Amino acid sequence: MVDSMHMKAPNPQGAMLWRWLNQASEAWVEVNLADLTAAEGAAVGGLVRSGQFQLRQQVDARGGPDEPHVRATCVVTGDFKQALLRALRGAVPEFSDRLVVYPASTAQYRLSGAGVATQAEIRQFGGGAFEEDFLAKSLGFAIPGVVQITDLQYLPPETPKAPEPPEAAADPPAPGLSESDGPAKAAARRTFAWPVPRTEGHVAAYHAARKSEYLTLGRDVLDDKTGAQDQFKKVFGPSAIARALTEKLGTNVHRACRAQDVLKTHTYRNLIQPLIRQPPRKPVDWDEMIAGRVGEDLPEILEEIPFEDEQA
């Protein structure tokens, strides 16, 4: 007797889903989305929407005429299109509702945690028309979009085309611009704010580069040494960090960094601010950082005591 349950007509969509899910791994794999057939594109899109795949892709985002142009690297899963717009507006405070996103054709994909589990399940059944049809029906849903922005760059303003020579006398130049300043210079002077994800990276790097000094000064603060907190603020206060970042990065694209920008970052709030409070308290993981410190300096008094050779 023939089992009629397994005599289903082939489901092309299910077969494609099965193939992509079966060949995927937990490592990132590059794919050119523009080279995919319609069926392949639908399969990959369905696996992302159902949360089986994560997609890592670079996007360009533009706002209105006076808003920035940014390039972001995002890791997404689920029905992410609206979530991506919300994430970009949250990361770039200058963006209004007029936001257009241009994804790159090249992306990377990998199995999510749910995808690993689903892959293990389908491999137990070995494939076939019935299983492929079942897979297509079981993955016909979309989870809420999840977006993580892993890198964000402000791109320089585009130089506008030179205007046609005016027939009548030109209006006087705007305040702050000389008569020799043209549209290109005016555009170049447009600078943008400091989005929190971007600022966080720079503040974290500033802190990491001065880790030894941070631990030394921080320990003096917690030991309540005279003047220790003032010395700590000279290096790690929000204004000091903002000045250092402005000197390092300039103001061609960003405006000058401000203390308020630094105050919003995770590194400042968790690792620096506790030592500036009154009274100061230990930052997050302080004891572990002290325990892991390498190359502790000897007290200065020991430098004056010669070590004797025991064999002399």
Q: What is the pLDDT of residues 96-148, one digit of tens each?
A: 778 899 999 899 999 999 999 999 988 887 767 888 888 888 888 999 999 99
Closest to 264 in 3D by CA, of 241, 230, 288: 241
List pLDDT tens digits, range 153-166. 888 766 544 455 55
Instruction: Give dist(CA 25, CA 53) in Å, integer.
Output: 10
pLDDT of amino acid 222: 93
Instruction: Give dist(CA 35, CA 194) in Å, integer.
Output: 37
Mean pLDDT of all residues in 165-182: 44
Cα of 274 vs its chain's centroid, Å: 25
Residue 22 host element (H or E): helix 12-23
Kindly list the distances between the CA atom of residue 54 and the CA atoms of 24, 64, 84, 166, 210, in Å, as whole numbers in the listed order: 11, 30, 14, 54, 36
The answer, yes or no, to whether residue 73 has pLDDT greater than 50, is yes
Instruction: Give dist(CA 20, CA 39) in Å, integer.
Output: 11
Instruction: Give dist(CA 61, CA 253) in Å, integer.
Output: 16
List pLDDT tens digits, range 234-292. 999 999 999 999 998 888 777 889 998 999 898 999 999 999 988 999 998 898 888 87
Closest to 21 in 3D by CA, of 147, 93, 114: 114
Instruction: Give dist(CA 29, CA 32) in Å, integer.
Output: 10
The answer, yes or no, to whether residue 311 has pLDDT greater than 60, is no
CB 68 within 8 A of CB 100: no
Instruction: Give dist(CA 191, CA 2) in Å, integer.
Output: 73
List pLDDT tens digits, range 32-47. 999 999 999 999 999 9
pLDDT bracket for residue 191 (50, 70, 90): low
Range 158-166 contact pairs with CB under 8 angstroms and sequence separation of 24 or more: 158/69, 158/187, 159/183, 159/184, 159/187, 159/188, 160/184, 160/187
How many Cα atoms occupy the beta-carbon half-sphere of 114 within 13 Å?
13
Mean pLDDT of all residues in 23-31: 95
The answer, yes or no, to whether residue 183 has pLDDT greater than 70, is no
Amino acid (1-letter code) at residue 158: E
pLDDT of amino acid 305: 40
CB 36 within 8 A of CB 44: yes
pLDDT bracket for residue 181 (50, 70, 90): very low
pLDDT of amino acid 294: 52
Instruction: Give dist(CA 68, CA 91) in Å, integer.
Output: 12
Mean pLDDT over the full length of the chain: 80
Instruction: Considering only CA atoms, give the Rg of the chain.
Output: 29
In the structure encoding, which two tokens stand for residue 163, read together? 């205007």
pLDDT of amino acid 124: 86
Closest to 270 in 3D by CA, of 236, 243, 244, 245: 236
pLDDT of amino acid 31: 94
pLDDT of amino acid 180: 46
Closest to 143 in 3D by CA, of 43, 75, 47: 47
Q: Judge if pTM exceeds 0.85.
A: no
pLDDT of amino acid 123: 87
Burial (CB count within 10 angstroms: exposed 0-12, middle 13-18, buried 19+), residue 310: exposed
DSSP 150-191: EEEEEEPPPPPPPPPPPSSPPPPPPTT--TT--HHHHHHT--
